[in-house]
A and B are shown apart, each in its own frame.
Chain A
């Protein structure tokens, strides 16, 4: 980490985006008091993350990137054991566990062993587990990585419900669609630094064009003609040309005037993904 500065509002969703190795997980570990910042200060819920670790962790729920459920006990018992870590008595934890299982739609898997659950079920159970202490802040590290579309939409729906009920969400993700769906504010990180901060809409407005024209595998002999088309920014990749433009129809018209198969030309709106790629570059980060 190279020094980052951010503030998340209550009862909203704050997102950390960035390629692998950008420092998202480290930031999450610092917020959830598992790795202390080596320098500088970080306060969560108005408390310092080192001195107030126990108090902060008591008021926070953490959904880890990797499944760390207790494989040797049932779904229901996983929730009871976790609640006990917070000092919730079993008499209070049992009804709360039933409630959370219903919330994440796992009530009929109550007595299953963990290895029987699918990836999506495990993720939902991790969310239910993180809610056992009725947290004010929920930390989610890549909450839908590796899930199928059905499971992903279900997780999003649950997270939006939680946000409405007053829980502050802090999440990391690689998926721009996820960030656009869930986050009120977000930062894009790269190499341990924050590049930009804002709402998804603000970032799209400020860092990319309103519209984008993509041309897939244009014929070799048309390269010069394509290069002469004006746009705010033109990107040439090995298999396509991308025109970032404020006037999509005009750009599209110029491309269509060339002898190119119409099905390989595509007009779309500028997205968070364009912002992300233009800021962090297309090169693989490893």
Chain B
């Protein structure tokens, strides 16, 4: 029991973090990204684009309208949320694990005034940046198909930042907890993929059985899709606020975890 109590205390204590030092680590990632983005960018935001074209035009031909809306217009906002999720998750799972365990990037950074908590926060902030680049790239491609239907769409950048931050912290919690890189696949197959199916991107959840809806309510992607759809399509400010609040509360609740987890993991 005492071991467990000690673990909980060390994970929930106020982290020794400094935003300027986290920013220095952010800039390391940005400097490397400048060299590698041509190779990596396309691979990860192309998937939502394929969904948009294939489902929007393919399935859309048969469906005509969903909730009175053209099918491609219905799915586009959810796919923005999906791009953001992929962007931040890829960075905080595969990339973060590689930098931490294989390339020695974390060790190099923490032999300077940058601390472990700063690295974790810098990683999350960078992953959020990258998520916004992915989401932004998707929007640029989707504009000809018509994505913006509401003036609330102007709030897309802060909304993407919020979603990106949440998925970044979630990804880091998992990455900093696992002992072998192979476990990362489970994050994708057991968490991201099921969430993707029941997030309301491709079909509204309101006709599903109550228990499925209740289950879906706990899924971060569902609220992300809701937020983007409210901003870009329906212009429903109350729905947007509700979803943003859900995301903000989860993000605030978990953000100290990866910071403290990284110290526990690497200080040993």
Contact = CB atoms under 8 A, between A and B. Distances in A.
Contact of B112 (A58, A66, A69): A58
Contact count band on A: 20 to 34
B104 A68 contact: yes
A77 interface: yes
Interface string B253-268: 0000000000000111
A60 B111 CA distance: 8
A87 B114 CA distance: 10
B95 to A, nearest CB: 11
B31 A85 contact: no
Nearest to B103: A71
B107 interface: yes
A267 to B, nearest CB: 46
Contacts of B20: 87
B32 A73 contact: yes
Given A72-B35, A73-B31, A73-B35, A57 B112 contact: yes
A127 to B, nearest CB: 13
Please classify the interface of chain B as helix (H, G, I), strand (E, B), loop, or mixed, using the class held by over half of its residues. Answer: helix
B110 A34 contact: yes
Given A71-B103, A72-B36, A77-B31, A86 B112 contact: yes
A32 B108 CA distance: 12
Contact of A62 (B24, B103, B111): B111
B105 A68 contact: yes
B73 to A, nearest CB: 40
B60 interface: no
Contact of B111 (A64, A69, A70, A80): A64
Interface string B104-144: 11011111111100000000000000000000000000000
Interface of chain A, main secondary structure: loop
Contacts of A87: 20, 24, 113
Nearest to B29: A81
Interface in A41-92: 53-55, 57-58, 60, 62, 64, 66-73, 77, 80-82, 84-87
A282 B113 CA distance: 41
Nearest to B32: A72
A133 interface: yes
B61 interface: no
Per CB-CB distance, the 8 closest pairs between chain A and chain B, nearest first, are A68-B104, A85-B112, A62-B111, A68-B108, A58-B113, A54-B113, A72-B32, A85-B114
Interface of B: 18, 20-21, 24-25, 27-28, 31-32, 35-36, 103-105, 107-115, 266-268
12 contacts: A32-B111, A34-B266, A57-B111, A64-B107, A70-B105, A70-B108, A71-B103, A81-B28, A84-B24, A86-B112, A86-B113, A133-B112
